[in-house]
Amino acid sequence: MGVRVHGGSRDVAGRAFPALARVGCLDQVTLHTIDPTNAAVVADALETIRPSWIFNLAAQSSVHRSFERPGETVDGIVRGAVTVLEAIQRTRLDCRFLNASSSECFGDTGDMPANEETTFRPCSPYGVAKAAAHWTVAHHRQTYGLFACSGILFNHESPLRPDHYVTAKVVRGAADIAAGLAETLCLGDIDIQRDWGWAPQYVAAMVAMMNADTPQDLVIATGRLVSLQTFVAMVFEAFGLDWRRHVIAGAYPRRPYDPKIIAANPAMAQVRLGWQAKVDVAGVAARLAAAEQRRRAGHDCWVDMA
């Protein structure tokens, strides 16, 4: 396709980028040291690269850690989005911009799945920051005519998740138990309900948003809600285990406020983009378990990336 990909990190020289290496594209991405909150650095990068598309995925992305580092979380997410949008204006760059928004903007949805018209009621510093960045993008689109949009991404999983994410903790914990390296896995509240999807398909959704005729903010999700307990059961079953014999629930205190239910209605993405998630939570659990089994056997961890 003749596409050239550039990536930004706050410290290119000091990082090995193992995730890019694992998916086999480290040598295909030109990396730049870019602090997304530094206006001069961002403007210089845009002048140098002159990108046609910009995906703003930078964030302190752990909801749990956002309670410990609220200032850092809000500053990085909100100021980062503002800085890039203003740099696009100042450099008069003709490009399309997509911001990674979040289901955490909605807070607890109860029994009413969230769509593009649902009011934001975030319950964490991370959610507050993502909501502010979301409306910043909408403001620049409406006021300055930029092609700027936000993908309201619900939980999107892959084998690249670090250990502090609950899905990775469950998968690696189950693998340890199956291998005889552990006997139990301690978790917090397993009654929470979320919409878990497969990250590669969400990337396809973001690309579709960039290819659309007009910029629009869309909910990207599977539309299927399950409890963490259900996800745990699926993963443990993939390893031939009964989760009830190994999982200790409620072992950790709840966050200051943790939404019980965050449900999604992604119908508009199908109408506007023709996009629909093909992998639901059962497929996610199976793929993550298979990838972990392959990784521990010394093989490529990527299983059915479609």
- Residues 6 or more apart whose CB falls under 8 angstroms from that of 230 comprise 281
Let me know if 104 is a catalytic residue. Answer: yes
For residue 17, count CB atoms less than 10 angstroms from its CB and return exposed for 0-12, middle for 13-18, buried for 19 or more.
Answer: middle
Which DSSP string do the residues of 217-236 spell out, in sequence order? -EEES-S--EEHHHHHHHHH
Neighbours of 4 (CB within 10 A): 11
Residue 268 gets the label, from left (phi > 0), alpha (psi -120 to 50) or beta, of: alpha
Tell me which DSSP letter residue 103 carries.
G
Q: Which has the closest alpha carbon to 281: 232, 217, 219?
A: 232
Q: Which amino acid is at 241?
A: L
Let me know if 86 is a catalytic residue. Answer: no
Q: Which amino acid is at 129?
A: A
Q: Is residue 238 classed as helix, strand or coil in its secondary structure?
A: helix
Token pair recorded at residue 34:
């870019």
Give bridge partners of residue 147 from the DSSP assignment: 96
Let me know if 150 is a catalytic residue. Answer: no
Token pair recorded at residue 215:
């910029």
> Of 66, 101, 103, 104, which residue is the catalytic one?
104
303 vs 291: CA distance, rounded Å: 6
> Of 66, 101, 102, 150, which residue is the catalytic one?
102
Q: Work out whether strand 197-198 and strand 247-248 pair parallel, antiparallel, or are unpaired.
A: unpaired
> Of 66, 101, 103, 126, which residue is the catalytic one?
126
Give bridge partners of residue 38 from the DSSP assignment: none
Catalytic residue ranges: 102, 104, 126
